[in-house]
Amino acid sequence: TQLLEQSPQFLSIQEGENLTVYCNSSSVFSSLQWYRQEPGEGPVLLVTVVTGGEVKKLKRLTFQFGDARKDSSLHITAAQPGDTGLYLCAGAGRLNSGYALNFGKGTSLLVTP
């Protein structure tokens, strides 16, 4: 059972377009992380959101944590080919789960010039 549902699973857009990736769950998390992974490499942490309703910006990327801490979104403005990769959301801090992360299935993004 996947605790975190990511959508869309695949996304192919042209350079300059905007996009939003969603990460939803019925569970409450203490924190939620977004990672970006390129083929053949390990995931790289982009951001951690902890407070319900929190919004964080990282250049052209905007991350939001839902008020109930069950969902999150990633919005990319004016996407560039360098944004291509697999975007993973991961929730942590569920009761009795220790420090383990629960990963969504990921969103594979392709940005073409």
Partner 1 sequence: GAVVSQHPSWVICKSGTSVKIECRSLDFQATTMFWYRQFPKQSLMLMATSNEGSKATYEQGVEKDKFLINHASLTLSTLTVTSAHPEDSSFYICSARDPGTSGTAYEQYFGPGTRLTVT
Q: What is the rounded CA–CA span in Å between residue 101 and residue 113? A: 34
Q: What is the rounded CA–CA span in Å between residue 62 and residue 20? A: 9
Q: What is the rounded CA–CA span in Å between residue 101 and residue 43? A: 13
**68 vs 100, which CB is nearer to partner 1?**
100
Mark 12-51 with x for binding to partner 1 (rule: CB under 8 A) and - for no binding.
------------------xx-x-x----xxxxxx--x-x-
Measured in degrees and rounded to the nearest 5, phi and psi for residue 106 equal: 95, 155
Q: Does 1 bind partner 1 (CB under 8 A)?
A: no
What HEC string does 29-55 produce? CCEEEEEEECCCCCCEEEEEECCCCCE
**66 vs 106, which CB is nearer to partner 1?**
106
Q: Does 99 bind partner 1 (CB under 8 A)?
A: yes
Choose, by CB under 8 A, the member of 20, 27, 64, 108 that binds partner 1: 108
Identify which range of 15-23, 54-62, 77-85, 102-110 contacts partner 1 by CB under 8 A: 102-110
Angle (CA) 110-55-32 rounded to 5° is: 70
Residues that bind partner 1 (CB under 8 A): 30-31, 33, 35, 40-45, 48, 50, 86, 88, 90, 92-93, 98-101, 103-106, 108
